[in-house]
Chains A and B, each alone.
Chain A
Amino acid sequence: MLLADLLTWWYGRGWLQVARNGQRRLRHVIDLFSVSLLLRTLIAPWRKIITYPGAGLDAKMRAISDNFFSRMVGFVVRICVLLSAFVSGIVLGVYTLVVLLAWPLIPVALLASPILGLLL
Chain B
Amino acid sequence: MTPDLGNIRAKKARLGKRIGPIGYDMLRGGMAAGTIATIILFILSLPNLACVAIFFSLLCLVPAAWYRLELHELPTNSESLTGRLDRHLLARLEPGRDMTPLTIWQDIKGYWQNFFVIDHLFIHGDALDDHLSQEPADTAAVWSTAAELAGSQPIQAGHVSAALLLTTPSLQPYLQSIKVDTDTIKAVTGWLDRLLESRHVSRPYFGGVGRDWANGFTPRLNQFGHNISLDIEAHGAHFGWLTTSPGVQAIKTAFSQGTAAVALIGDDGVGKTSHVDALAQVLLQEQTDRNLEHRQIIALNPSVILSHASHPGDLEHLLLLLLNEAAHAGHIILFFDDAHLFFQDGHGAVDLSQILLPVVQSHQVQMIFAMTPRDLQQLKTTNGTLANLLTPISLQEPPVDQVMRVLEDAAIRLERRHDVLITYEALAEVYRLSGRYDQDTAYPGKALKVLEQAMAHADHQLVNAASVQAAIEQTRGVKVSTASVAETDQLLNLEDAIHERMINQSQAVSVVASALRRARAGIANPRRPIGSFLFLGPTGVGKTELAKAVAATFFGSEDNIIRLDMSEYQQPDDVQRLLSNGANESKSLILAVRQRPYAVVLLDELEKAHPNILNLLLQLLDEGQLTDMEGRAASFKDCVIIATSNAGANRIRDAVSANQPLDEAFERELTDELINAGQYKPELLNRFDEVVLFRPLEAAELLQIVDLMMKEINQNLANQHITVQLTRPAAEKIVEKGYDIRLGARPLRRVLQRAVEDTIADKILRGEATAGTNLTLDVADLKL
**Could you tell me the distance in whole angstroms from the C-beta of A108 to the nearest C-beta in chain B?**
10
Contacts A110-B55, A113-B54 hold; do A2 and B214 have CB atoms under 8 A apart? Answer: no
Find A46's partner among B54, B61, B62, B213 (CB 8 Å cutoff).
Answer: B213
Say whether A56 faces chain B, with CB atoms less than 8 Å apart: no
* Residue in A closest to B15 when the chains form the complex, CB atoms: A2
How does the 8 Å CB contact mask read for A74-87 relative to B, with 1 for contact and 0 for none? 10011001000000
**Could you tell me the distance in whole angstroms from the C-beta of A23 to the nearest C-beta in chain B?**
14
Say whether B210 faces chain A, with CB atoms less than 8 Å apart: yes
Residues of B within 8 A of A1 (CB): 8, 11
A77 to B210, CA, bound (A): 10
A79 to B328, CA, bound (A): 24
Say whether B246 faces chain A, with CB atoms less than 8 Å apart: no
Residues of B within 8 A of A109 (CB): 54, 58
Do B213 and A74 touch across chains, with their CB atoms under 8 A apart? yes
Find A113's partner among B52, B216, B329 (CB 8 Å cutoff).
Answer: B52
Contacts A1-B11, A5-B8, A81-B210 hold; do A118 and B70 have CB atoms under 8 A apart? Answer: no
Do B216 and A33 touch across chains, with their CB atoms under 8 A apart? no
Residues of A within 8 A of B294 (CB): 37
Say whether B215 faces chain A, with CB atoms less than 8 Å apart: yes
Residues of A within 8 A of B52 (CB): 113-114, 117
Residues of A within 8 A of B49 (CB): 117
A39 to B740, CA, bound (A): 100
A5 to B61, CA, bound (A): 17
Residues of A within 8 A of B65 (CB): 14
Find A110's partner among B62, B69, B330 (CB 8 Å cutoff).
Answer: B62
Which B residues, 52 to 88, have Cβ-Cβ distances below 8 Å to chain A?
52, 54-55, 58-59, 61-62, 65-66, 69-70
A76 to B49, CA, bound (A): 52
Do B51 and A116 touch across chains, with their CB atoms under 8 A apart? yes
**Could you tell me the distance in whole angstroms from the C-beta of A75 to the nearest C-beta in chain B?**
11
**Could you tell me the distance in whole angstroms from the C-beta of A30 to the nearest C-beta in chain B?**
8
Residues of A within 8 A of B11 (CB): 1-2
Residues of A within 8 A of B66 (CB): 6, 9-10, 14
A14 to B329, CA, bound (A): 47
Contacts A34-B210, A48-B328 hold; do A6 and B62 have CB atoms under 8 A apart? Answer: yes
* Residue in B closest to A108 when the chains form the complex, CB atoms: B58
Which B residues, 1 to 53, have Cβ-Cβ distances below 8 Å to chain A?
8, 11-12, 15, 47-52
Do B330 and A48 touch across chains, with their CB atoms under 8 A apart? yes
Say whether A94 faces chain B, with CB atoms less than 8 Å apart: no
Do B12 and A5 touch across chains, with their CB atoms under 8 A apart? yes
A-B contact count (CB 8 A): 102
A1 to B12, CA, bound (A): 10
Say whether B208 faces chain A, with CB atoms less than 8 Å apart: yes
Do A120 and B208 touch across chains, with their CB atoms under 8 A apart? no
A6 to B11, CA, bound (A): 12
Residues of B within 8 A of A14 (CB): 65-66, 69-70
A10 to B212, CA, bound (A): 43
Residues of A within 8 A of B209 (CB): 32-34, 81
A77 to B8, CA, bound (A): 54
Say whether A72 faces chain B, with CB atoms less than 8 Å apart: no
* Residue in A closest to B329 when the chains form the complex, CB atoms: A48
**Could you tell me the distance in whole angstroms from the C-beta of B209 to the nearest C-beta in chain A?**
6
Do B12 and A31 touch across chains, with their CB atoms under 8 A apart? no
A117 to B55, CA, bound (A): 9
A106 to B60, CA, bound (A): 11
Say whether A107 faces chain B, with CB atoms less than 8 Å apart: yes
A82 to B15, CA, bound (A): 44
Find A13's partner among B47, B48, B55, B70 (CB 8 Å cutoff).
Answer: B70
Which B residues, 210 to 229, have Cβ-Cβ distances below 8 Å to chain A?
210-217
Do B8 and A2 touch across chains, with their CB atoms under 8 A apart? yes
Residues of A within 8 A of B62 (CB): 6, 10, 106-107, 110
Which B residues, 619 to 643, have Cβ-Cβ distances below 8 Å to chain A?
none
Contacts A9-B66, A14-B66, A120-B48 hold; do A113 and B214 have CB atoms under 8 A apart? Answer: no
Find A18's partner among B50, B69, B211, B329 (CB 8 Å cutoff).
Answer: B69
Do A47 and B70 touch across chains, with their CB atoms under 8 A apart? no
Do B12 and A110 touch across chains, with their CB atoms under 8 A apart? no
Say whether A17 faces chain B, with CB atoms less than 8 Å apart: yes
**Could you tell me the distance in whole angstroms from the C-beta of B759 to the nearest C-beta in chain A?**
93
Say whether B125 faces chain A, with CB atoms less than 8 Å apart: no
Say whether A41 faces chain B, with CB atoms less than 8 Å apart: yes
Residues of B within 8 A of A37 (CB): 207-208, 210-211, 214, 294
Do B48 and A31 touch across chains, with their CB atoms under 8 A apart? no
**Could you tell me the distance in whole angstroms from the C-beta of B51 to the nearest C-beta in chain A?**
3
* Residue in A closest to B65 when the chains form the complex, CB atoms: A14
Residues of B within 8 A of A38 (CB): 210, 213
A60 to B55, CA, bound (A): 73
**Could you tell me the distance in whole angstroms from the C-beta of B293 to the nearest C-beta in chain A?**
8
Do A106 and B211 touch across chains, with their CB atoms under 8 A apart? no
**Could you tell me the distance in whole angstroms from the C-beta of A46 to the nearest C-beta in chain B?**
7
Which B residues, 585 to 612, have Cβ-Cβ distances below 8 Å to chain A?
none
* Residue in A closest to B11 when the chains form the complex, CB atoms: A2
Residues of B within 8 A of A18 (CB): 69
Do A117 and B70 touch across chains, with their CB atoms under 8 A apart? no
Do B70 and A113 touch across chains, with their CB atoms under 8 A apart? no
6 extra A-B contacts, CB within 8 A, seeds A32-B209, A48-B329, A117-B51 = A32-B208, A37-B208, A48-B214, A106-B61, A109-B58, A113-B51
Contact sample, A vs B, 20 pairs, CB 8 Å cutoff: A5-B12, A13-B70, A17-B69, A21-B69, A32-B209, A33-B209, A34-B213, A37-B210, A37-B211, A37-B214, A44-B214, A47-B214, A48-B214, A48-B215, A106-B61, A113-B54, A114-B51, A117-B48, A117-B51, A120-B48
Please give the residue numbers on chain B whose beta carbons come within 8 Å of chain A beta carbons, in ascending order: 8, 11-12, 15, 47-52, 54-55, 58-59, 61-62, 65-66, 69-70, 205, 207-217, 294, 328-330
9 smallest A-B Cβ distances: which pairs?
A117-B51, A34-B208, A34-B210, A48-B216, A41-B214, A113-B55, A110-B58, A44-B214, A113-B54
